[in-house]
Structure 1
Amino acid sequence: MRRSAAWVVGICAVVALGGVATAAPKSVTTLRVQAAGAQEKAGTTEQVTRSLSYVSASHTLTLSYPGASYVKVHFSRLALLPGDWLTVTDLEGGQSIDYRFGLRDEWAMSVDGDTAVLTLHGQGVQRAARNAAITAMRDGSPTESVCGGDDSADAVCYRSSDPVAYNNSRAVARLLINGDELCSAWRVGPGNRMLTNHHCFTSTVDARNTEVWFNYECAICGGFAVRRPVKVFADKVLATDPTLDYTLFTVQDFAAVQAFGFLTIDDRAPVAGEELYVPQHPGGDPTILAISSDQDRGGNCRVDDPAADGYAVGTDVSYYCDTAGGSSGSPVLSRRTNKVIALHHFGGCPNAGVRIDLIYREIGSLL
């Protein structure tokens, strides 16, 4: 199930970047900023009214939302002079994203923490006129609260006891779609290929408004601190299908995420009773591993029905591994082979994933 965060209507911000050069026609940049929470919804919305001018004493705008885990800015339109650029950073400047081209109706990469700093750079600061309008600010609820006191097991808890399962969980990413919707996805094979659900997103337009977070896990078992995620944008949708509920896509800046490894498809029909595990980001949480089940013999989750009905007859495998909204798109792996046998997409008891052997028939030539 894809998850979405409840929106809290707040204040819309207008940031006017004004100047005097007649060589640069007046244009408007609108930034909408939001906060996190199915689809898991991930955020609340604040509106503000402030201005930032090329000719003012300061060319920096600071947007702070105490207690938020991230801040994310939306550009309805960004217009810059040639050679100028806008940066969005966290308060300390440790995270910095440059925007050097015009944008329309696109989300900026989020920055961790409760403060985003927007700074205009370039010769145009001295000689040109541009306008920017922030229409909304999105900020996230604190991330550290999800690691302790949960019935599920943090992936890091298995780092020593089950290193193979832990290492495989590193290839599973959290998706933040259009700023406020959550799913999971995973690297399939060594190339620039990832899989999620069709019901998470279906188009390249949506992909390019989707953040892909790797390394988003708790630092210690049962702790409250999370590791800083490595974030890239999704890029192109290569294939998608509503019946088998998959979307195959690429990411931008692939080199930044190669170190997190990849998973391998187990091109066969699943077998009743075989043990499973599901690395996932339920509710957008840091990586969780569902391995145990109090509904299954021996305490390990396993295949309940290897040919359950999904969106078509016999397309799914069912199991009692624990999942939640935001787990959509997670891989379901065999404990015996440590390869993927299903793409999780249904909640309920039992839960269900699409058989990966059926998906592989459609995407194998693209991997």
Structure 2
Amino acid sequence: MTRRRTGLLVAAGVAVAALAVGSDAAAGGPVVGHLMTGSTPHATAAAHRTSDARTGAHDAANAPTGRRTGHGDAATTGSHAGGTSRGRHAESATEPAAVGVAEAGSQDSVTRHVDYSGSPTTRFSYPGAAYVKVHFARLLVRPGDWVTVSDESGKQSYTYRGDPRLLKLPKDSPSTVSGADGFWAMSITGDTAVVTLHKTLPGPGLGKFGVDVDRVAHGFTASQRADREHKQRLAEGGRRPESVCGSDDAQDAVCYKTSHPVEYQHSLPVARLLINGTTLCTAWRVTADDRMLTNHHCIGDQADASNTEVWFNYQCSSCGGSEIAPVTKVPADKLLRTDETLDYTLFSVSDFASIKHFGYLGLDIRKPKAGEQVYIPQHPEGDPTKLAIASDGENGATCRIDEATIDGYASNSDTGYRCDTAPGASGSPVIARSTNRVIALHHLGGCPNSGVRIDLIYPQIKSLL
């Protein structure tokens, strides 16, 4: 093994390996195929944990409230919801990649009022930003009036007639929340968000009516990202991030639309996560129902889920182009189950009907095989969907499993490969080319990079699928 993850190993890893004994087999099929399982029951032996680790899988009612140091492919991040730090440190040759989710942007405190006596519009512009997300401390309008958050063209627009924490109105747009201090409108893709108060009748309202914006989250510009990456490389002695094994061979998913149509189709159920307005991960639909998987270090509790946007179809319109295809955004809804050691979170989304047509990925519930080919659809650095299919780490060949089992946060819990990933790819599906089904949940860098084996995760979530 070229890279031992000794820092966070769980004692008595034999018990974890026992989870894979007699695993159900999943047949291959298209992206919208059915999950097919055999009749052999899974072993349910519980793995021992270190003294300070949480044990087993957690239902939403028992979801962990604390957050550990993050893991997986990601950059160092700032503060998280509730002021909890998601600070990361660099990968080393002997420990897991302790880096977590990718930082997408920053939050600014602002004081903006829109009321009935002044201008009905206020703009938030951050030239070059990838997105803008507005937080309302107060939104109280007269009956029949409404507020929109839109881009300057009006093509993207979200409507709110009240505070959704107090009253959810059927025609209002979705939103996300963080604590009890207001709510976030859904983000606007681009560098400008326009907040407008629409009045059905002329004249002023009472003094209690109006809109207050107290925070704005916005994405980094290309130059800010480049500067951050440069500083990170200097801090690492000029080395490339270890999660890119050699040159970065991942390409825009649309580049493979004609040459690899099956792999491209299997990128469509993969979504970008915008968590708490400033951090990024990847997630994907699993089975035909309203179920999605990502890493525990991305969404660790219900508070994270309540303030997460899930972006489908966030991909380039053309190979190597800068224009983005129309994006469908929905909020995450319920955290259904999460586990720190196997680093997964199963969750649902709001407005499932709007994303159902993107399809889902089936599961390949078996132990990976050394040498078998795999590919990874992902959102590295929060970029539009990319596919890691080729790898110069494999002498120009396609990505493949280098080590069938490798240590993750438990002994032999992961499978290792040299497919290129990057910050933000945490939570991506590792798909076996032989079945076009998910064989692992990507979460660690280090060359070999690694994902948690699906045959270990499945026994903990199968009752919820």
Using structure 2 for the length normalisation, give the TM-score: 0.67
Q: Which deviates the most, 256-265 or 289-298?
A: 289-298
Question: CA shift at 1:289, angstroms?
Answer: 0.5
Give the number of aligned pairs.
Answer: 335
Question: Aligned in 2, Cα 1:273/1:298: closer, same or farther, shift over 3 Å?
Answer: farther
Tell me the equivalent position of 2:161.
100
Which position in structure 2 is the counterpart of 1:121? 198
* Structural mapping, 1:99-178, within 5 Å: 99-102=160-163, 103=165, 104-122=181-199, 126-128=204-206, 129-141=208-220, 151-178=249-276
Instruction: Report what 2:283 is aligned to.
Output: 185
Contact 2:102/2:382 (8 A) holds in 1: yes
Say which is worse superposed, 177-186 or 210-219, in terms of deviation.
Answer: 210-219
Residue in 2 that maps onto 1:257: 355
- 3-state SS in 2 of match to 1:300: coil
2:137 matches 1:59 = no
Equivalent residue for 1:88? 149
Residues 50 and 194 from structure 1, CA distance in 2 versus in 1: closer, same or farther, beyond 3 angstroms? closer
| Letter paired with 1:127 | G
Partner of 2:394: 296
CA–CA distance in structure 2, aligned partners of residues 150 and 89 of structure 1: 35
2:345 and 2:427 map into 1 onto residues whose CA distance is 9
Q: Distance in 2 between the 1:246 and 1:271 partners?
A: 22
Instruction: Determine if contact 1:143/1:285 at 8 Å carries over to the other structure.
Output: no
Structure 2 counterparts to residues 260-339 of structure 1, below 5 A: 260-296=358-394, 299-339=397-437
Question: Which letter maps to 2:252?
Answer: D
Deviates more, 1:303-312 or 1:349-358: 303-312
- Whether contact under 8 Å (2:375, 2:399) holds in the other structure is yes
Kindly provide the amino acid, as one letter, of the partner of residue 139 in structure 1: H
Q: Which residue type is aligned with residue 93 of structure 1?
A: G
Change (3 A) 1:49 1:236: closer
Q: How does 1:4-23 map to 2 (within 5 A)?
A: none
Partner Cα distance (2:285, 2:222) in 1? 24
- Residue of structure 2 in register with 1:18 after alignment: none
Structure 1 residue 357 displacement after superposition: 1.0
Counterpart of 1:245, as a letter, is D
CA distance in 1, matches of 2:418, 2:269: 22
- What CA distance in whole angstroms lies between the structure 1 residues aligned with 2:139 and 2:317? 37
Asked whether the equivalents of residues 39 and 326 of structure 1 are also in contact (C-alpha less than 8 Å), the reply is yes
Separation in structure 2 between the aligned mates of residue 143 and residue 189 of structure 1, nearest angstrom: 36
Aligned to 2:318: 220
Shift of 1:61: 1.6
Instruction: Give the secondary-structure state (helix, strand or coil) at the position aligned to 1:295.
Output: helix
In structure 2, do the counterparts of structure 1 residues 144 and 174 end up closer, same or farther at CA, with 3 Å as the change threshold?
Answer: farther
Q: Please report how far the alpha carbon of residue 70 of structure 1 lies from its aligned counterpart in structure 2 after TM superposition.
A: 1.5
Which secondary structure state, in structure 1, belongs to the residue aligned with residue 425 of structure 2? coil
Aligned to 1:229: 327
Contact 2:426 2:442 in 1 (8 A): yes
Deviations 1:208-230 (A, max 9, x none): 21111111111111222221211
For residues 8-44 of structure 1, the C-alpha deviation after alignment (integer angstroms, 9 at most, x for no partner) is: xxxxxxxxxxxxxxxxxxxxxxxxxxxxxx7111113
Residue identity matched to 2:348: T
RMSD (CA atoms): 2.6
Matches within 5 A, 1:67-78: 67-78=128-139
Report the TM-score, using the length of structure 1 for normalisation: 0.84
Taking the TM superposition and a 5 Å limit, the aligned residue runs for 1:24-63 are: 39-56=101-118, 58-63=119-124
Structure 1 letter corresponding to 2:105: G
Secondary structure of 2:458's partner? helix
Question: How far off its partner does 1:132 sit?
Answer: 3.7
Query: How much has 1:116 moved relative to structure 2?
Result: 1.1
Q: Is the 8 A contact 1:2 1:200 kept in 2?
A: no
Partner Cα distance (2:285, 2:363) in 1 = 11
Partners of 1:67 and 1:74 in 2: CA distance: 20
- 1:52-99 deviations in whole A, cap 9, x for unaligned? 22122x322222222222211123444445554322111111111122
Separation (CA, whole Å) in 2 of partners of 1:46 and 1:366: 39
The higher relative CO (CA closer than 8 Å, separation ≥ 6) is in 2
State the distance in 2 between where 1:143 and 1:285 align.
Answer: 11
Contact 1:215–1:228 (8 Å) recurs in 2: yes
Aligned residue for 2:103, secondary structure, equals: coil
SS in 2 for 1:232: strand
Q: How far did residue 343 of structure 1 move?
A: 0.2
Does the 8 Å CA contact 1:2/1:183 hold for their aligned counterparts?
Answer: no
Aligned partner of 1:69: which letter? A
For 2:101, give the aligned amino acid: Q
Mapped contact 1:46–1:138 kept (Cα < 8 A): yes
Cα distance, 1:46 vs structure 2: 4.0
Deviates more, 1:45-54 or 1:334-343: 45-54
Partners of 2:264 and 2:406 in 1: CA distance: 28
In structure 2, the CA distance between the partners of 1:313 and 1:82, relative to structure 1 (3 Å rule), is farther
Aligned equivalents of 2:197, 2:302: Cα separation in 1 = 29
Listed as ranges, the gaps of 5+ residues in structure 1 are: 8-37
Gaps of 5+ in 2: 1-71, 79-99, 166-180, 226-246
Amino acid corresponding to residue 71 of structure 1 in structure 2: V
Q: SS at the partner of 2:303?
A: helix
Question: Residue 310 of structure 1: SS of its match in structure 2?
Answer: coil
Q: Output the amino acid matched with 1:64.
A: S
Letter of the aligned partner of 2:156 in structure 1?
A: Q
